[in-house]
Structure 1
């Protein structure tokens, strides 16, 4: 019985990773360490990552329509939508189910968010969705 449960759990986990097996382009500053950590978080959660080192991140954000109020240190693009900052992989996976959103953002660099893990300290933060009409919507809260 235990062996069957273990096999079932393994198949379920592999299925979740296969569903997440999307490609995301990540644009980052060459000197930012937390960006590399976020990329590791994505890969650990089944994403294929194209890593682009950019000397002018402001231009990238402007081209993709990332509002300054949503800005962080790196910007991803998946299926034509932006992913700004330390957005957890689980939220990116749900982005495909939200055609009303232009992208997701975790503004700033909250401690404890993916890529910003440093000890036990965790800041509360929100994942913000930018709707097609330009308004912000809280899509997830992390305590």
Structure 2
């Protein structure tokens, strides 16, 4: 009986490690400092980051299907889905549970979002999911 519990715990731990060790590709402008801070946020939350410096971010966003209304300064890609802007790591995990979403976005650059921390100032912001039908859906409020 004890060995079954140990095996179950081990499988749960391996599943958690596999999820935490996911790789995300991040595309960013070479002159953007907040992009580097967001990358650090992802790494601090267990993601492996492939950092791609891009001279033409508009082309990257267009290729990935990021609508201009959802745009921010950097774009991530994980499991074929986009992560636009300063999306918190905890919300990125949602993508694996939501096959109906093309991606997630935090439009603009709200103060207090991951990578945009500046003292105690925090703007309210939303994490927007883009459905396969092209509709926006608020998935989290901060």
Q: TM-score, normalised by structure 2?
A: 0.88
**Could you say which residue in structure 1 is the equivalent of 2:123?**
123
Are residue 80 (structure 1) and residue 80 (structure 2) matched?
yes
**Could you say which residue in structure 2 is the equivalent of 1:49?**
49
Are the counterparts in 2 of residues 18 and 46 from structure 1 also a CA contact under 8 Å?
no
How big is each residue's C-alpha offset from its partner over 1:66-106, in whole Å with a ceiling of 9 and x where there is no partner?
A: 00000000000000000000000000012100000000000
Q: How many residues align?
A: 131
Where do 1:36-115 residues align within 5 Å? 36-115=36-115
User: 1:15 Cα deviation (Å)?
Assistant: 7.4
Structure 2 unmatched runs, 5+: 1-11
Query: Aligned partners of 2:76 and 2:56: how far apart in 1?
Result: 14
Q: 1:127 is paired with a residue of what secondary structure?
A: strand
User: 1:19 Cα deviation (Å)?
Assistant: 2.5
Q: 2:41 is paired with a residue of what secondary structure?
A: helix
Structure 1 unmatched runs, 5+: 1-11
